[in-house]
Amino acid sequence: MLSHDQIWAAIDSLAARYGLSASGLAKKAGLDPTTFNRSKRVSPDGRLRWPSTESVAKVLEATGASLDEFMSLISPRDVQYTTRAIPLLGFAQAGAGGFFDDGGFPVGRGWDEVDFPDLGDSHVYALEVNGDSMKPLFRHGDVIICSPSAAVRRGDRVVVKTNDGEVLVKELKRRTTNALELSSLNPEHADRTVPTSDVAWMARIMWASQ
C-alpha cells in the first residue's frame, strides 16, 4: 500500500535528482509552480491531497524519467511494487464488440498483454494509439493506460466509446446530464459534443507510455 508521505517524498526526491526544487519541477512540467508546495499537500480541513496521475505523468515527460525510476524513489527500502500483465488492445478492437462490457471493463480473451506496475486498480487496461489524430500529445504507437473505474473530472483526458463503436480520445471539457463536451487533443480536429444517450462508456487516461 502506497502512503501519502511516500508519494510526496518521491516527487521531492525526483526534483532533487534533476537539480530542481518542488516548485521548479512543477514549472518544468508545465504546471502551476505551487502545485507541489508543501502547503498544498494537506487541505485546510486536514484532508490529505494526493498528486494527480496526470501531474506525475507530466513530470516524467518533462524530466525524461521513467515510471520505474519514479517508483524506485517511493521508499525503496520499505516498499516493493510488483507488475502485472494487463490487457493491451488496439483501437479497432476497442471499437468492436466483445472486448468490453457495458461499464467499459475489458472482458473475454484474444488480446495481447503488457506489464504495468500494480497500483491497486484491477480494471486498468492499455490501448495502443493508431494514427496521428491525437498529435502532438499522443503519437502512433504510444500506449495509453486507461481506467474505467477512476473518477473523471473536468480537464481529465479520457477515452469515450459511442454506441455506434466510435472510439474518441479527448479532454473532458464539461459533463452535464445530457451530454459530454470534449476538447480535441489535436488542434486540427474539431471539439465534440456527445449526447449522454450515445455514450457506451468512458475511461480516464491514467498514464501514457511514450
Q: What are the tens digits of pLDDT across the range 87-112? A: 888 776 665 665 666 666 666 665 68
Does residue 207 register a pLDDT over 90? no
Please give the pLDDT value at position 99.
Answer: 60
Are 59 and 137 part of one and the same domain?
Answer: no
Does residue 80 register a pLDDT over 60? no
- Is 84:111 a contact under the CB 8 Å cutoff? no
Are 176 and 196 part of one and the same domain?
Answer: yes
Are 67 and 31 part of one and the same domain?
Answer: yes
Please give the pLDDT value at position 194.
Answer: 95
Domain stop point among 72, 102, 124? 72
- Per the structure, the count of domains in the chain is 2
Structural domain range at position 32: 4-72
pTM value > 0.95:
no
Q: What is the mean pLDDT of residues 131-153?
A: 82
Are 93 and 165 part of one and the same domain?
Answer: yes
Does residue 31 register a pLDDT over 80? yes
- Burial (CB count within 10 angstroms: exposed 0-12, middle 13-18, buried 19+), residue 53: middle
CA pair distance 57, 14, nearest whole angstrom: 13
